[in-house]
Amino acid sequence: MIQAGAVLTVDMLEAAAEPVKVSFEEEVAERVRRGHAFVGECLSGERPVYGATTGFGPLVTFDGRDSQEDQCDNVLQHLTAGQGAELPPEVVRATMLVRIRSLSRGLSGISPAALEMLSAVLQTDFTPVVPTLGSLGASGDLVPLAYIAQSLRGVGDARLGGRKMPASAALAQAGLEPLTFTGRDALSMVNGTSVTSAAGGLAVAKLRRSFESGLHLSALLTDILGADGKFLAPSLLDAFGHPETAGAGKRLRDLLQGSVPSGDRPLQEPYSVRCVPQLMGAARCALDWAGGVVERDLNGVSDNPLFFPDENLIAHGGNFFGQPSAFATDMLSIVATQMGNLAERQLDLLVDPVRSNGLPPMLSPRPGAEHAVQGVQLVSTAIVASMRRACVPASVQSIATNLHNQDVVPFGTQAALAALEQAQNLRLLHGSLAVGLRQAAHLRKDRPTAWPCADLVDALAQVVAPITQDRALDADVRAAADVLDQFVADRLP
């Protein structure tokens, strides 16, 4: 169970992929009721309220529709224009949770019924079908959120039990009644950056695990190569002046407990071994900053206008402008890609007999007759190239639109979705490297000398068999990535 008034974390976002109950504490429920009543008072008088008494966007100078229900219908219908592939279900469901958190602050004037409907659908596996393309990350994620709102009233498509069907049928099968929007319910649903925050939060969760996976794999590589861990000397790393680098070095020393160098490696290892603490320390620093920004977004209020009953204030402003997460998730893409560069180079080192301390080419038990991880390395190279191409920042691609009402936009949604894809690709790179390291450990015959590294090999060996004869390895890579996720989650410091 998740409490609507509690601090929202990225772990909660991941939990929302499955049915989850959201409870409303009495304090939260009272805030929502009070905010909704205040909006009702404002609408019953002569006070202008954007989107409730006016048109939308640059048409704010014109009157809106006379009926509240018609006005709600108007905002949703004209925004139902998205294109492209479907958003992943985990993103859509996390988005609904983020929207609940924002709306439960009581500053948007949403009706209790609309908020309860969001909670009710999250308790089932009902998932609106939402297209990827449409949001600018300014004025909120208007288009994708409109699809979510439409599905709650039985319009459009949704998935239930993994099957795509009309949203009306999915609601009926889930035992839910379609929602009728009134007041500013519809605008409250769409006028926030919840898709951006949700995708960014999911990317943060994955990258935090991948950071640990990268350290574990780097330690295992160091052990299998027989490298000397002197490059992890505390005094050396402290002198670098970056505490995150010293922290990464300590973590690597912990993971290399019991390691015995072979004594026949070069005086200085390649950078993909020797500079791991410096690279991963910088990744930790950037990940902490970006993750902090995204988590603040998860718990903020993104909407316009906001309503403050105690001040008798309707505040029109720009709290739907997703620039913070746009910058942060662009940084997440960069972090993911550089960690991917490291993993790909480490696999390249491992398959090269000139640099791997006697391991056969491509880790093949019979080079030429068997090709072992050759295909895995080719795919890893392709993944890295794709990640590098996706690193072009979205947060600076501003294009004026909407009759120049939106004359500068952050494109945070595209940045966040790119970061999530980068995080997923990094998992596959780590899975590829893990398959290679498991094969290298098999060929070495001796168990890794560091006990934490031996534990990781044992875990991988349960799902990845030794390559004695060439076989398809695509499923092995994905299985290894899953093992890494669970292995590091169980051992997070």
Is 271 considered catalytic here?
no
What six digits make up the tokens of 479? 């299985």
Cα separation of 385 and 377, whole Å?
A: 13
Q: What is the DSSP string of 424-478?
A: HHHHHHHHHHHHHHHHHHHHH-SPPSSHHHHHHHHHHHTTS---SS----HHHHH
Contacts of residue 363, Cβ cutoff 8 Å, sequence gap at least 6: 350, 351, 372, 373, 436, 439, 440, 443, 467
List residues bridging with 128 in a β-sheet.
158
At residue 365, φ and ψ (nearest 5 deg) are -70, -25
Q: What is the DSSP string of 16-54?
A: TTS---EE--HHHHHHHHHHHHHHHHHHHTT---TTTTB
SS3 percent helix, strand, coil of the chain, rounded to 5, is 60, 5, 35
Lookup: tokens for 255: 């993971």
Residue 464 CA to residue 218 CA, distance in Å, equals 19
Two structure tokens written together for 338: 């550089």
Q: What are phi and psi of 224, to 5 degrees?
A: -65, -35
Q: Other C-beta atoms within 10 Å of 342: how many?
A: 24
Residue in 24, 38, 50, 56 annotated catalytic: 50
Residue 394 in 3-state DSSP?
coil
Active site residues: 50
